[in-house]
Amino acid sequence: MNSFSYTRAGDVAGAVNEAATNRAAKFIAGGTNLIDLMKENVARPTRLIDITRLPLNRIENTHDGGLRLGALVTNADTAYNEQVEKRYPLLSRAILSGASPQLRNMATNGGNLLQRTRCYYFYDTATPCNKREPGAGCSAIEGFNRMHAVLGTSDKCIAVHPSDMCVALAALEAVVRVSGKSGDRTIPLADFHRLPGSTPDIDTNLGEDEIITAIDLPPKGFADHYAYLKVRDRKSYAFALVSVAAALETSGDTIKEARLVLGGVAHKPWRNTEAEALLNGKAATRVNFQVVAEAIMRDAKGFGHNTFKIELAKRAIVRALKHAAQMETRR
Amino acid sequence: MKNEPENRITLRVNGAEKQMNIAPWTTLLDALRDYLDLTGTKKGCDHGQCGACTVLVNGKRINSCLTLAIMKDGADVTTIEGLADGETLDPMQQAFIDNDAFQCGYCTPGQICSARGLINEGRATTADEIRELMSGNICRCGAYPNIVAAIQQAMQTIERSAKA
Ligand SMILES: Cc1cc2nc3c(=O)[nH]c(=O)nc-3n(C[C@H](O)[C@H](O)[C@H](O)COP(=O)(O)OP(=O)(O)OC[C@H]3O[C@@H](n4cnc5c(N)ncnc54)[C@H](O)[C@@H]3O)c2cc1C
Ligand code: SF4
Ligand code: FES
Ligand code: FES
- Domains present along chain A, CATH in parentheses: 226-330 (3.30.390.50)
Q: Which of A13, A62, A48, A29 has its CA nearest to residue A184?
A: A13
Q: Which fold has domain B91-163?
A: DNA polymerase; domain 1 (1.10.150)
More confident: A94 or B2: A94
* Long-range contacts (CB closer than 8 Å, 24 or more residues apart) made by A37-44: A37/A116, A37/A123, A38/A1, A38/A2, A38/B25, A39/A1, A39/B46, A39/B47, A40/A123, A40/A125, A41/A1, A41/A2, A41/A125, A42/A116, A42/A122, A42/A123, A42/A125, A42/A132, A44/A2
Nearest chain A Cα to B111, which residue? A102
pLDDT at residue B1 above 50? no
CATH class of B7-82: alpha beta
- Ligand 4 pocket check for B104: Cβ under 6 Å: yes
pLDDT at residue A41 above 90? yes
pLDDT at residue A222 above 80? yes
Global confidence as pTM: 0.97
- Ligand 4 pocket check for B102: Cβ under 6 Å: yes
In angstroms, rounded to a whole number, what is the distance separating the alpha carbons of residues A203 and A197? Answer: 10
Quote the ipTM score.
0.97
Residue A216 binned pLDDT confidence (cut-offs 50, 70, 90): very high
Residue B162 binned pLDDT confidence (cut-offs 50, 70, 90): confident
**In chain B, ranges of CATH 3.10.20.30 domains:** 7-82
In angstroms, rounded to a whole number, what is the distance separating the alpha carbons of residues A19 and A209? Answer: 5
Residue A101: predicted pLDDT: 98
Residue A328: predicted pLDDT: 57
Q: Which residues on chain A are in Cβ contact (under 8 Å) with B62?
A: 102, 105-106
Residue A327: predicted pLDDT: 75
Phi, psi of A159 (to 5 degrees): -75, 160
Burial (CB count <10 Å: 0-12, 13-18, 19+), residue B28: buried
Q: Which residues on chain B are in Cβ contact (under 8 Å) with A99?
A: 136
Residue A330 binned pLDDT confidence (cut-offs 50, 70, 90): very low
Residue B4: predicted pLDDT: 56
- Give mean pLDDT, residues A161-178: 98
**In chain B, ranges of CATH 1.10.150.120 domains:** 91-163
Q: pLDDT tens for residues B30-67? A: 999 999 999 999 999 999 999 999 999 999 999 999 99
Share of chain B above pLDDT 70, in %: 97
Report chain B's mean pLDDT, rounded to a whole number: 96
Q: What is the amino acid identity at position B41?
A: T
3-state DSSP of chain B:
CCCCCCEEEEEEECCEEEEEEECCCCEHHHHHHHHCCCCCCCCCCCCCCCCCCEEEECCEEEEHHHCEHHHHCCCEEECHHHCCECCECCHHHHHHHHCCCCCCCCCHHHHHHHHHHHHHHCCCCCHHHHHHHCCCCCCCCCCHHHHHHHHHHHHHHHHHHHHC
Q: pLDDT tens for residues A56-108? A: 999 999 999 999 999 999 999 999 999 999 999 999 999 999 999 999 999 99
Let me know: does A186 contact A288? Beta carbons within 8 Å: no
Test the A interface: residue of B25, B54, B78, B137 with most A CBs within 10 Å: B25
Residue A2: predicted pLDDT: 87
Q: Which residues on chain A are in Cβ contact (under 8 Å) with B121?
A: 101
Distance A115 CA to ligand 3 centre (A): 18
CA distance B129 to chain A (A): 11
pLDDT at residue B3 above 80? no
Residue A155: predicted pLDDT: 98
